[in-house]
Amino acid sequence: MNIYYLGPKGTFSEQALIFYISQKRGYCIKELKTIPDIITMLCINKDDEGLVPIENSIEGTVNVTLDMLINDADGLKIKREIVIPISHCLIADKNLEFDEIKLVISHPQALAQCRNYIRRNLPNAEIVTADSTAKAVSEIKNKAYAAAIGNARAAEIYGAQIIDKDIQDVKNNFTRFIVLASSDCEYTGNDKTSLIFSVPNEPGSLYKILEVFARENVNMTKIESRPSRKNMGEYVFWVDIEGHRCDNRINKILGVLMGKTEFLKVLGSYPKYL
């Protein structure tokens, strides 16, 4: 079995992967360059698994992951979630003062999570995006005026210097990753279920859906909307609820939703991350 992740080595995706594979045996790790690459490979190779970021506590949902699960991931299920703390570092090829840094490179999510730090300490630096934080660290090698934002492992891998640590604007910073496969997880008693749906474009249609969860006393831990890609003003909703799809209450809710939604897709049930 292959396990795909968003490479290269030194990314936060690799950090989440290391945690996940510590509990597994009999796998081969494969680095891929983009989230769409991971999901495409999983759709082709049904026995494999893939780990992708879905949500950050500061910047919110990773839209490319959500959009692909809605539109391009037929047959894939969420079987695990992993939440890791995110600690960003300012990294350079050698020790630099702030006023020596003319260029800052990183992934757009990392740049957004350090927005205030950059504005306060590096107001005149040019900002350049990279495919990943690790790729950013690799790109500053032999650039005397450049710095990257990444994690400590990336600095170690690429032989770079950490100039400053914990530079994210909000210290309580976490990213949620999900493991995708052809099947989800069996009932554990401490589960959540993710589903997506659309409703008729008429007054009260979303309220009628949310009322179903409230009536059955099921806690909804997340709701988010994304454009349907069909018509302006039409949306698809992602909802996380507590409980497993095999629970009697959740099974009952799914049956009711089938009659109230225009489209319903259960993305999977899996253990809640503790």
Q: Write down the pLDDT at residue 15.
A: 93
Q: Write down the pLDDT at residue 71.
A: 83
- Mean pLDDT value of segment 135-156: 94
The answer to whether residue 101 is domain-embedded is yes
Question: Which of 170, 15, 154, 9 shows the shortest CA–CA distance to 82?
Answer: 15
Q: Kindly report the length of the chain.
A: 274
The answer to whether residue 210 is domain-embedded is yes
- Mean pLDDT value of segment 205-217: 92
Distances in Å between the Cα of 255 and the Cα atoms of 119, 198, 212, 224, 251 are: 51, 15, 11, 21, 6
Q: Write down the pLDDT at residue 103.
A: 97
Q: Write down the pLDDT at residue 268.
A: 96
- Is 148 found in the same domain as 18? no
Instruction: Please give the share of the chain, as a percent, with pLDDT higher than 70.
Output: 100
- 148, 181, 214 - which closes a domain: 181
- Is 77 found in the same domain as 105? no
- 181, 209, 224 - which closes a domain: 181
- Is 239 found in the same domain as 137? no
Q: Write down the pLDDT at residue 203.
A: 85
Q: Write down the pLDDT at residue 250.
A: 95
Q: Write down the pLDDT at residue 271.
A: 96
The answer to whether residue 223 is domain-embedded is yes
Each residue of 160-179: pLDDT tens digit?
999 999 999 998 999 999 99
| Higher pLDDT, residue 274 or 198 | 198
The answer to whether residue 45 is domain-embedded is yes
The answer to whether residue 43 is domain-embedded is yes
Name the residue range of residue 214's domain: 191-271
Each residue of 38-82: pLDDT tens digit?
999 999 999 999 999 999 998 888 989 998 998 888 889 999 999
pTM of the model: 0.88
Q: Write down the pLDDT at residue 7.
A: 85
Confidence of residue 133 (pLDDT cuts 50, 70, 90): very high
Q: pLDDT at residue 8 above 90?
A: no
- Is 96 found in the same domain as 81? no
- Is 103 found in the same domain as 79? no
78: CATH: 3.40.190.10
- Is 116 found in the same domain as 251? no
Q: pLDDT at residue 105 above 90?
A: yes
Q: pLDDT at residue 240 above 90?
A: yes
Averaged confidence pLDDT in the chain: 93
Domain total for the chain? 3
- Mean pLDDT value of segment 1-30: 91
- Is 112 found in the same domain as 46? no
- Is 263 found in the same domain as 195? yes
- Is 81 found in the same domain as 26? yes
- 119, 153, 181 - which closes a domain: 181
- Is 142 found in the same domain as 43? no
216: CATH: 3.30.70.260
- Is 17 found in the same domain as 76? yes
The answer to whether residue 186 is domain-embedded is no
- Is 197 found in the same domain as 77? no
